[in-house]
């Protein structure tokens, strides 16, 4: 069963101006229609693409691995890509780019699934390293691509650096704050958490460890490679919001899935997972670690805010 529930339907009584994500009342599913009122697009500023081996599929290859009963890592060294398995098809979270797209497709097969079963590609933000493969998954496998309105705009504008050019997916699903997506036995909930870009998409969903359910969260824009006091304040607001979610009474976020592996100890935990003995705790289940990680993101952004204020002459 597939059900995309836009938050707009659930909160019709709240004035549109109170909505997050630029406030525009974009239809949740807008086929081939550009968002009309999104934030101005901006050049794709992403992690250093000039590093010698970033674009080399051989150097970047990671053996795909299972993290939970329903979740696999099929990304590369510097960018994550997750495969979420439901009873009614597959969901890809981020889509890699360039030659690395083949790594993701090979990864889906290597973990025993068929890319033809892909139903959705959910893109954390509009930078090339996350959205670059979306068009191919859409064209080849008929997967629907979901992003926030602001980051559809970002992805659709040609980047300043030609190295960051991508095949732009057909404008498909516009995801807003509070939307949910149900596919088979799995429901995802979305949050718009701007800062790294204007329309960073974060998401939470259940993951299962031998049947035991945990609350996984993916903060869609961790990096501080952006500019300005306003954006830094947005980032800080987003981190503060996730900290509140993480601390929900009786329902803590206990699994941190980062969209760059190095920013969330993904490979370190994967090594521990590989040598986990029967009865050991799952190394990705770490609610205290998550709170500490968010506190660290906040400290880093507060330091950046000081610098940005100086640059702005404030
Ligand atoms: Zn980025």
Greatest pairwise CA separation for the chain in angstroms: 58
Confidence of residue 3 (pLDDT cuts 50, 70, 90): confident
Non-local CB neighbours of 138 within 8 Å, separated by 6+ positions: 121, 144, 145, 169, 170, 172
Task: Dig out the tokens for 114 from the structure.
Answer: 């068929």
Residues above pLDDT 90, as percent of the chain: 79
Q: Give the distance (Å) from ligand 1 centre to CA of residue 125.
A: 7
Average pLDDT over residues 199-212: 97
Report how far residue 127's alpha carbon sits from residue 161's, in angstroms, rounded to the nearest whole number.
12
Confidence of residue 209 (pLDDT cuts 50, 70, 90): very high
Q: Which domains does the chain possess?
A: 2-40+50-311 (3.60.15.10)
40: pLDDT strictly greater than 50:
no
Task: Dig out the tokens for 111 from the structure.
Answer: 């973990």
Q: Give the distance (Å) from ligand 1 centre to CA of residue 50.
A: 14
Q: Give the distance (Å) from ligand 1 centre to CA of residue 218.
A: 14
218: pLDDT strictly greater than 60:
yes
Q: What is the pLDDT of residues 224-248, one digit of tens each?
A: 999 999 999 999 999 999 999 999 9
Q: Give the distance (Å) from ligand 1 centre to CA of residue 79.
A: 10
Confidence of residue 1 (pLDDT cuts 50, 70, 90): low
Q: Give the distance (Å) from ligand 1 centre to CA of residue 153.
A: 14
Q: Give the distance (Å) from ligand 1 centre to CA of residue 74.
A: 18
Q: Give the distance (Å) from ligand 1 centre to CA of residue 77.
A: 15
Q: Give the distance (Å) from ligand 1 centre to CA of residue 171.
A: 19
Q: Give the distance (Å) from ligand 1 centre to CA of residue 60.
A: 18
Q: Give the distance (Å) from ligand 1 centre to CA of residue 109.
A: 27
Average pLDDT over residues 153-171: 93
- Work out the number of other CB atoms within 10 angstroms of the CB of residue 225: 12
Residue 190's DSSP bridge partners are: 203
Q: Between 119 and 35, where is the model more confident?
A: 119
- pLDDT given at position 20: 27
Report how far residue 118's alpha carbon sits from residue 84's, in angstroms, rounded to the nearest whole number.
10
Q: What is the pLDDT of residues 269-303, one digit of tens each?
A: 999 999 999 999 999 999 999 999 999 999 999 99
Residue 256's DSSP bridge partners are: 217
- The H-assigned helical ranges of the chain are 7-10, 57-60, 100-110, 128-131, 134-141, 149-156, 229-246, 266-274, 287-311
Q: Give the distance (Å) from ligand 1 centre to CA of residue 127.
A: 5
- pLDDT given at position 51: 60
47: pLDDT strictly greater than 80:
no
149: pLDDT strictly greater than 50:
yes
Q: Give the distance (Å) from ligand 1 centre to CA of residue 275.
A: 32
Non-local CB neighbours of 226 within 8 Å, separated by 6+ positions: 45, 195, 196, 197, 232, 235
Report how far residue 285's alpha carbon sits from residue 216's, in angstroms, rounded to the nearest whole number.
9
- Work out the number of other CB atoms within 10 angstroms of the CB of residue 306: 10
Residues above pLDDT 70, as percent of the chain: 85
- pLDDT given at position 24: 28
- pLDDT given at position 136: 98
Q: Give the distance (Å) from ligand 1 centre to CA of residue 277.
A: 36
The mean pLDDT of the chain is: 87
Q: Give the distance (Å) from ligand 1 centre to CA of residue 66.
A: 25
- pLDDT given at position 34: 30
Q: What is the pLDDT of residues 185-195, one digit of tens each?
A: 999 999 999 99
197: pLDDT strictly greater than 80:
yes
Q: Give the distance (Å) from ligand 1 centre to CA of residue 280.
A: 35
Confidence of residue 9 (pLDDT cuts 50, 70, 90): low
- pLDDT given at position 49: 46
CA angle in degrees (0–180, nearest 5) for 236-240-245 = 145
Q: Give the distance (Å) from ligand 1 centre to CA of residue 45.
A: 6
């Amino acid at each position: 069963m597939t059900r995309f529930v836009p938050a707009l339907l659930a909160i019709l009584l709240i004035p549109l101006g109170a909505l997050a994500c630029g406030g525009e009342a974009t239809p949740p599913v807008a086929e081939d229609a550009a968002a009309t009122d999104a934030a101005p697009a901006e050049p794709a500023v992403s992690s250093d693409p000039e590093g010698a081996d970033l674009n080399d599929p051989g150097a970047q290859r990671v053996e795909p691995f299972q993290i939970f009963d329903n979740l696999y890592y099929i990304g590369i060294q510097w960018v994550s890509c997750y495969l979420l398995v439901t009873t009614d098809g597959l969901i890809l979270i981020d889509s890699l780019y360039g030659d690395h797209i083949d790594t993701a497709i090979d990864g889906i097969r290597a973990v025993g699934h068929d890319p033809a079963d892909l139903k959705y590609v959910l893109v954390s933000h509009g930078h090339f390293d996350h959205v670059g493969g979306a068009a191919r998954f859409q064209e080849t496998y008929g997967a629907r691509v979901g992003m926030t309105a602001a980051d559809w705009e970002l992805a659709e504008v040609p980047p300043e650096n030609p190295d960051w050019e991508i095949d732009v997916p057909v404008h498909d699903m516009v995801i807003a704050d509070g939307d949910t997506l149900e596919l088979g036995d799995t429901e995802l909930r979305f949050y718009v958490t701007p800062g790294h870009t204007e329309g960073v998409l974060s998401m939470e969903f259940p993951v299962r460890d031998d049947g035991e359910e945990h609350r996984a969260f993916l903060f869609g824009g961790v990096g501080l490679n952006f500019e300005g006091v306003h954006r830094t304040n947005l980032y800080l607001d987003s981190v503060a919001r996730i900290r509140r979610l993480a601390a929900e009474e009786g329902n803590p976020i206990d699994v941190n899935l980062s969209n760059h592996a190095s920013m969330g100890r993904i490979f370190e935990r994967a090594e521990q997972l590989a040598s986990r003995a029967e009865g050991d705790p799952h190394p990705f289940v770490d609610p205290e670690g998550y709170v500490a990680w968010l506190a660290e993101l906040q400290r880093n952004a507060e330091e950046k805010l000081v610098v940005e204020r100086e640059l702005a002459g404030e």
